[in-house]
Amino acid sequence: MGILQIASLLVVLAAVFGVINYFFLRLPQSIGILIVALAVSFTAMALDAAFPMLELATTMRAMVLEIDFSDALLEGMLGLLLFAGALHVKMEDLREQAWVVLLMATMGVGLSVAVVGVGFSWLTGMPILVALVFGTIISPTDPVAVLGVLREADLRKSLETKIAGESLFNDGVAYVVFLVLVGLAFGDAGGHDADEGEQNALVGALLLFVQEAFGGAALGAALGWMTFRVMRRIDDYTLEGQRPMKASSSSSNSVSIVTRTVWRSRSSIGS
């Protein structure tokens, strides 16, 4: 099964799960679809255990193994998720809460990673760096899910903007921290002794942080500004309803393409 067929299957399943949630569960869309998907997964596992001749697990495992999840998640899904979430946040409201959002998305994520990592290491005896990697995986929130819940909640506009803004930026921050910690925890030391290896790993981690955080943000801002200037100069009514979405999503994906080609890495912050 090719990538187009897999993508089409996911869209169909998401639509079916959404219909089931609408008629039966009545939960917020993102949460309802997640619960229905979990129920279907558990049902498939039960059927495979009860009727092994169906080979459901083998078939599904083969489909999943065809996907390069590193590329699919970091190259495609993450940037598009952040872009989809950003479409529903007004820049004027975000500017008013900029400092609070910045602190929550940086210091808040760092504090969450530290608490989860230290606690997980203490409970399981896992090496602290590996536990911190686990902390970066579970600390960020899904912006689309958060915005979906906020739309149905009766909150003050300022509080809604703070939560929505933090959910948009924490994914990019956590991703950069994840790359740095993975490099420190599992990277090749590259030295002849432990001290030299740790020093090389730390220098590499700092360079990676600067490249991903500041380089990705600068590239995203530059491409976004150029896209904005081009759209302002186009005066064609047939494109009025299409150009903002197409141009913006294209520039978002272009950040990933450029960073991978030039820097041999990925940057979700620019998206």
pLDDT at 21: 92
Average pLDDT, the chain: 77
User: Is the pLDDT score of 115 beyond 90?
Assistant: yes
Pair 216, 259: CB distance under 8 Å: yes
Average pLDDT of 106-117? Answer: 93
Report the pLDDT value the prediction gives residue 100, as an integer from 0 to 100.
92
66-104 pLDDT, tens per residue? 777 777 777 667 777 777 777 777 888 888 888 999 899
End-to-end CA distance of the chain: 29
Task: Print the SS3 string covering 33-87.
Answer: HHHHHHHHHHHHHHHHHHCHHHCHHHHHHHHHHCCCHHHHHHHHHHHHHHHHHHC
pLDDT tens sequence across 180-233: 888 888 865 444 455 555 667 667 767 777 776 677 778 777 877 887 777 777
What pLDDT, on the 0 to 100 scale, is given for residue 189? 43
C-alpha dist (Å) from residue 224 to 176, 178, 217, 227, 243: 21, 25, 10, 5, 13
**pLDDT higher than threshold 60 for residue 176:** yes
Cβ contacts of 44 within 8 Å, gap of 6 or more: 56, 57, 60
Name the more confident of 154 and 20: 20
Residue 182 is which amino acid? Answer: V
pLDDT over 90 (residue 123): yes
Would you state the pLDDT for residue 24? 93
Band of residue 121 on the pLDDT scale cut at 50, 70, 90 = very high
Mean pLDDT of 32-45: 90
- pLDDT of res. 190: 43
Predicted confidence (pLDDT) per residue in 47-63, tens digit: 989 998 888 888 888 87
% of residues, the chain, pLDDT over 70: 75
Q: How confident is the model at residue 249 (pLDDT cuts 50, 70, 90)?
A: low
Cα distance between residue 214 and residue 111, in whole Å: 21
CA 122 centroid distance within chain: 28
Poorest-pLDDT segment among 20-34, 100-114, 149-163, 221-235: 221-235
How many percent of the chain have pLDDT more than 90?
A: 21
In a 3-state reduction of DSSP, which class is residue 28?
coil
Banded model confidence at residue 20, pLDDT cuts 50, 70, 90? very high
pLDDT given for residue 109 in this prediction: 92
